Structure 1
Amino acid sequence: MRTRDHRGFSQPHDDKKMAKDFERMEDSNPSANPTIHEVSDPKRRVFVRGGLAAAVAGLFGPLVAGTLAGCATTPSGSPVSSLGRAIGFKSVPMAAVDRIVVPEGYSAQVLYRWGDATGIAGRMPAFKADGSNTADEQALQAGMHHDGMAFFPLDGSNRGLLVLNHEYVDDGLLHPDGMKTWTAEKVRKSMNAHGVSVIELQREGAKWSQVLPSRFARRITALTPMTLTGPAAGHPMLRTAGDPTGTQVLGTYNNCSNGQTPWGTYLTCEENFADYFEGTGTPDAHQKRWGIKKGNGAKYRWHEHEARFDVAKHPNESNRYGWVVEIDPQDPASTPRKRTALGRAAHEGAATALTNDGRAVIYMGEDSRFEYIYKFVSRDKVQPGGAAANRELLDHGTLYVGRFDVDGTGEWLPLVQGRNGLVADKGFATQGDVLIKARQASDLLGATKMDRPEWTTVDPLTKEVYCTLTNNSNRGTPGQPFMDAANPRSSNTMGQIIRWKENGDLDATKFAWNHLVLAGDPKQSRYEAQGNIKGDAFGSPDGLMVDARGVLWIETDVSTSTLGKGEYANLPNNQMLACDPTQGEIRRFLLGPAGCEVTGLTATPDLRTLFINVQHPGEPANERSDPERPLAVSKWPDGAGRPRSATVAITKNDGGVIGT
């Protein structure tokens, strides 16, 4: 899930473009960290073998259901977890289609499309299919390119708030003439099409509808005032001419995956923020490490009318992005907070769980080539009383970065100033330095360079943690890091899902890990692209969620320049699959329309509705639409006008639990 006009790259084998694997900052890790391969047997490139592998695998065998957070129940009142993890639907066959395809006995309902009114009383402009809505109107409507989201119940499973990200925009669709002319109004409209929506939904019978108007309705955009909190707040690297305090920021954007806290707040993650900044021809070492370079600004051209995105004029502005932002969805007047204690990164997600004594643990990936997996453990326990009682919880705690060792064990390395070489003469005089320069700190500690860590999710029954490593075609190529145990394939076009179990409670610093699956297509001739899937083929895993009964849902994000081509010849559409992790079977549940990514995952507590997002339907291979031919690839969902990202509610026709 990234900015779309520069994602393709050449595979060393066939020069075809692959899944959303970008040139810009995917390879900005020049650290000399030894890879696992350099201290291991080259034969271990696909699996850790032998007695050790058996011992590690034993930790991930048939599992006993534990206590389910939230005590979700079925309509009959029994715990959802009592239904077990078994998958009961018939697999959907792969096909090139321009519609949503779900299994027999299921229905899909389109709910909230780009341009739909958010629901703010007295301010609900209608969508104009020619792209002529104004910037002010866009600030009151659904943004573009829906991504991560969460459902917050207000009345059991029948009414709640849906909070969702709007990652980026396609300017070819957003404006009547695309980018042929460029104005301050277009920049402002683009900024208002980013960010987050809060909408209210209700279910009557089998159908969902948006509550219009709603007192909760809210749009958060790239222009919404926000507060920086935590150890890095006020740091000199965060101070600008517009904000000499280093604590007040305008907006959030490139919001990819997300998190949902037990105290009722939403975590949105700022991912590829570097794509919006026009760098200089002579970037310093810090800018290089974060992919801030000349030419970036051409992608969105914000800097032409919004000077703070010009690095030459405002060198610190980019340091104010790349954070996890906490939002209280039940208080539309609240100020979003960028939680610096969780570290700065091209954040992909923030899966949240609790230790046995009630402290928050957040797992985060960074979706760039050879970047890292992080964990944050709060200092304090979660208090009763919701968001107000836990306002400072995420400002205090310990951030860790993961090292995945060849023997199937791993260690969380603390990113704490003054420890393990994170000292002043290495550029880390304060904890703020460590957090702002989390990549450099992780380089120094020797963390494992991963194949683009995407979404994370925690099994509520067992507290096992999963992370999608979506792909990395640079792995093992000349001049790039070689394969290692956690990232075992060269020119990794297909990706894998890694999982680990902490050595004790979730705050442990040691863990055991293995691969749930190496994605791929067994019909491919290249061994590294075949994978080891037990079930339906897929590649480039991205969205990930373990639901309340323990089923793992997997979404894919293969770029439009790659779908149906090369090693993805048999995979023309993106998809969603379900997995019973105790058995390993993976079964295809859904196909998305042409040119889309399937993303965003959340469910009602009773698991009778699953919400997903369809992002950028109709995206062409060059990843920017032609405004004169907006329907060239897809007519979804309206059949006319312009293709529109949208939220979809999936239900079972008999009213049962999804996936059974």
Structure 2
Amino acid sequence: MSTQIHEDASRPGRRPLLNLLMAGRTHGKRSPVTCLYKCDNACFHPVPNTSDNPYFRDIASAALSRRAVLAGGAAAGALVIAGTVVGGADSASATTAQAVGKGGGRAFGFQPIAPVPADVDEVTVPAGFRWHPVIRWGDPLFDPADVFDPERQTAEKQARQFGYNNDYLDIIVEPNGKRAVLVANQEYTNFGIMFPPARSEEERLEQLRVTKAAHGMAVVELERRHRGEPWTYVVGGRRNRRITADTPMALDGPAAGSDLLRTVEDPTGRWVRGTLGNCAGGTTPWGTVLSGEENFNGYFRSAGTSASERRYGLSPSESSYGWEAVDPRFDARRPGYENEPNRFGWIVEVDPDHPDEPPVKHTALGRMKHEGANVIVGRTGHVAAYMGDDERFDYLYKFVSKDTFRSGKSAKARAHNKTLLSAGSLYVARFSGDSPIEEITGTGALPSDGKFDGTGEWVPLMIDGASAVPGFTVEEVLVHTRLAADAVGATKMDRCEDVEPNPRTGRVYVACTNNTARGTGSNEGATEANPRNDNRDGHVIEITEAGGDARATTFGWSILLLCGDPATNAYTYFAGFPADRVSPISCPDNVAFDSAGDLWISTDGAPGTIGYNDGLFRVPLEGPERGRVQQFLSVPREAETCGPVIHDTDGSVFVAVQHPGEDGSWDAQHSFFPDYVTPGSLAGGKWGGPRPAVIQVTRA
């Protein structure tokens, strides 16, 4: 790393901004800068989950009897979504899928690209496609006069511009097809490539304030003249909005008002300033957007003495960002601020159609390192929200609403549906395998039945607003959710990131990104649901709720993909599809679905595991091509692929390109995405570094 991002005695007031604990310790080519700012050097610290849950293999023997219970009910039944029965493709859509291109019967045809080496600073798309940026970090949202200038950024201006490092993304198109609204998370920031080194203490503090303003979310109106054309964003759009680390938000649900959420700034425990660490999310059937607050611990200094603080990775060390220097809330050691960390780690709901309405943090969905939440409406009208806790050896969760969904587009129905995540029941998953213990070797070799599979149960933590965990009040269950899940013996997973139900079948797909700590030291070894020790490449699990019911408390499961490069790893698995005919894939992160029900997977970490840039991949889930992974695009050097949105019937795919050129420095940038303007080529300026952006891929 350049010494620019360390202490520089020649510049008054210059203080170290980075503490690169992971330098030289990352796996493969994982950036130590990403480790610091995105997850507070999580791999450097001991695994937070030290609970003595029963090892998965200890309960595997019970699987055979439970498997009989699910027999005949494991196939997904039809689900009712907004009053429409969703099942297999009808004849018209099936005909359309067969007629498109070279997709092997898929709804979106393309020739897969070859893997792109990790040092290439380009966006690569299939032949016959092109890409363009829709919106970039620093683009003005409200006034064209808010021109982006990284050498003269202020917090006030950044709060009026598109934020940094987008993750979750959706493009919600209006019925006329000519207008839409884009909603994006802005997860974290990187001082070293965003700004020149501060020349004074005053300038350094303003840079801290700018990074606060660059976090959060953005809502932006889009327009185009005709369907199928590229979108452009609208400066000053009616719904344009920036949500930052200072935006007022409501707390609702059973824990709202709890003593555990009260601070000197909010003695009611019902309001909080800001959201941060916003990773993945989901768009609800009623048109709002959910955002998951993930690695919130890295923003706080805390006493670090309680069981809950330790379980969530809070410590007395200086925070990754140093915001405690400009905002007392982020030093939870101060009197009156001890509970401030408890006010983060929630699912946030935002209504993009109402820019003046405060976002809501839903305590009923529990507090954890939320990757996101994705909602489906079940056959009874109750909604289920599926959630992953993105930490090594943490858990998979489901929330089921107490009330039922109301169909229709009336304001009354929408208002009702916006209360569905405020009350209900919260569950955590316990998995059981059906193979003999000795056949789960930790290598990824398949057991004798030819697949990793079994049954599971949703263990209640809260039922209709009442605690289901002995010794925990409902407020404790929701604020200290990890401890409550420990107490009921949930299954330790390999970083459950995005968890999404397929809107066509109701089956649920869980992206387990990786876990290189599995099987090391005293950490739990391989289990049938997490079958590899030193799991560098990750896997994807397919879950089928019993009877196809979103309210079910039992499920069947199997591993769809055991990721990796088949050319170098014999123990990969692609739902039985021949491994020599797939694109190599590693570190699955976000997932999405197209109109044919195919799964799309974006990755985060492939450069460090298989040596290729991260990308976006399609995987058919039905028929003879089930499991055939095909790469659609590759993002630039040191970037991550986030928030895939698949509008295949419109000929478009969108992704958020996060942290391009992450390991560069102000004077030695590693990427020039998305405009590829090199230093010195701009009239009147030298700027030529990367700007995280949302891009659209269309047919050429």
TM range (shorter): 0.7 to 0.9
Report the CA distance shift for 1:634/1:523 in structure 2 as closer, same or farther (over 3 A). farther
The one-letter amino acid of 2:207's match is K
- Counterpart in 2 of 1:145? 165
Shift of 1:359: 1.8
Work out which of the residue numbers 615, 618, 634 in structure 2 matches 1:575. 615
CA distance in 1, matches of 2:524, 2:72: 27
TM-score calculated relative to the size of structure 1: 0.86
Single out whichever of 206-215 and 228-237 deviates more from structure 2: 206-215
Are 2:388 and 1:388 equivalent residues in the alignment?
Answer: no
Report SS of the residue matched to 2:475: helix
Report SS of the residue matched to 2:633: strand
Shift of 1:66: 7.7
**Preserved CA contact (<8 Å) 1:477 1:491:** yes
The equivalences for 1:126-525 within 5 A come to 126-128=147-149, 130-177=150-197, 181=201, 183-205=204-226, 206-280=229-303, 283-297=305-319, 299-313=320-334, 314-383=337-406, 384=408, 385=410, 387-407=414-434, 408-416=454-462, 422-423=469-470, 426=471, 428=472, 430-504=473-547, 505-524=549-568
**Preserved CA contact (<8 Å) 2:458 2:553:** yes
Shift of 1:154: 2.3
Report the CA distance shift for 1:549/1:210 in structure 2 as closer, same or farther (over 3 A). same
Are 2:573 and 1:553 equivalent residues in the alignment?
Answer: no
Report the CA distance shift for 1:59/1:619 in structure 2 as closer, same or farther (over 3 A). same
Report SS of the residue matched to 1:360: strand
Shift of 1:249: 0.3
- Counterpart in 1 of 2:135? 112
Report SS of the residue matched to 2:210: helix
**Preserved CA contact (<8 Å) 1:56 1:513:** no
CA distance in 1, matches of 2:525, 2:589: 23
Shift of 1:132: 2.1
The one-letter amino acid of 1:335's match is P
CA distance in 1, matches of 2:204, 2:572: 45
Shift of 1:639: 2.2
**Preserved CA contact (<8 Å) 2:193 2:662:** no
> Percentage identity across aligned positions?
36
Report SS of the residue matched to 2:393: strand
Report SS of the residue matched to 2:232: strand
Report SS of the residue matched to 1:308: helix
Shift of 1:347: 0.2
Are 2:663 and 1:616 equivalent residues in the alignment?
Answer: no
Shift of 1:548: 2.5
Shift of 1:133: 1.8
Report the CA distance shift for 1:104/1:59 in structure 2 as closer, same or farther (over 3 A). farther
Shift of 1:78: 9.2
The one-letter amino acid of 1:637's match is D
Report the CA distance shift for 1:26/1:557 in structure 2 as closer, same or farther (over 3 A). farther
CA distance in 1, matches of 2:184, 2:650: 19
- Counterpart in 2 of 1:36? 56
CA distance in 1, matches of 2:127, 2:554: 44
Report the CA distance shift for 1:296/1:637 in structure 2 as closer, same or farther (over 3 A). farther
CA distance in 2, matches of 1:455, 1:178: 37
CA distance in 2, matches of 1:117, 1:258: 24
In structure 1, list runs of 5 or more residues that go unmatched. Answer: 42-47, 654-660
CA distance in 2, matches of 1:229, 1:605: 37
Report the CA distance shift for 1:72/1:162 in structure 2 as closer, same or farther (over 3 A). farther
**Preserved CA contact (<8 Å) 2:78 2:506:** no
**Preserved CA contact (<8 Å) 1:225 1:335:** yes
In structure 2, list runs of 5 or more residues that go unmatched. Answer: 1-17, 98-104, 435-453, 679-686
Q: Considering only CA atoms, is the larger Rg found in Structure 1 or Structure 2? A: 2
Report the CA distance shift for 1:412/1:25 in structure 2 as closer, same or farther (over 3 A). farther
- Counterpart in 2 of 1:540? 587
RMSD between aligned residues: 3.3
How many aligned positions are there? 616
CA distance in 1, matches of 2:563, 2:537: 5
The one-letter amino acid of 2:617's match is L
- Counterpart in 2 of 1:44? none
